[in-house]
Structure formats: C-alpha cells, structure tokens
Amino acid sequence: MLRQILSQAKKHPSLIPLFIFIGAGGTGATLYVLRLALFNPDVSWDRKNNPEPWNKLGPTDQYKFYSVNVDYSKLKKEGPDF
C-alpha cells in the first residue's frame, strides 16, 4: 500500500499535500483517542482496585484537554466526600 501511495505521488505531485494532511489528521485522531482512553477519569481499566476513579479527583485536578479561563489551582471543593 505504501508503494502505491509513493507511485501515485511520483505521478501526481499535487497529491503530496493531501497525503500529508490525511496522515496528520489520522495520527492526531489516534493520539487523542489514546489520551482519552488512558487519562480520562471516566474510563476504568482496573475495576477491582479502583472501581470509581472519578471519585478520587480533587478540585485542583485538570482533566479537560483545554480550558479557557479556569485556574484549577484556585478551585475549592464544593461537595461531600464519598
């Protein structure tokens, strides 16, 4: 398959940016899904030792990918301990 892509790129050089952007988009999507699967508190891979990982998050833990105007170090806890 890689040979076919390279042969098409040699025949039609205008396809090279298309291959680059499709490859970068696929790589970015794969890395984002891996980030969600490994670091999101909603995902529990170890149900015996940590059945509810979202309850162990502190108010200063940042789990969002990007936050605009929130400083997580200054947040206070608003709720009971579970």
Domains of the chain, by residue range, sit at 1-39, 44-77
Model confidence at 31, in pLDDT bands (50, 70, 90)?
very high
SS (H, E, C) the chain: CHHHHHHHHHHCHHHHHHHHHHHHHHHHHHHHHHHHHHHCCCCCCCCCCCCCHHHHCCCCCCCCCCCCCCCHHHCCCCCCCC
What is this structure's pTM? 0.61
Nearest to 58 by CA among 41, 37, 35, 36: 41
pLDDT in tens, 54-75: 777 766 666 667 677 777 777 7
Predicted confidence at residue 34, as pLDDT, reads 93
pLDDT in tens, 7-27: 888 999 998 899 999 999 999
* 3-state helix vs strand vs coil in the chain, percent to 5: 55, 0, 45
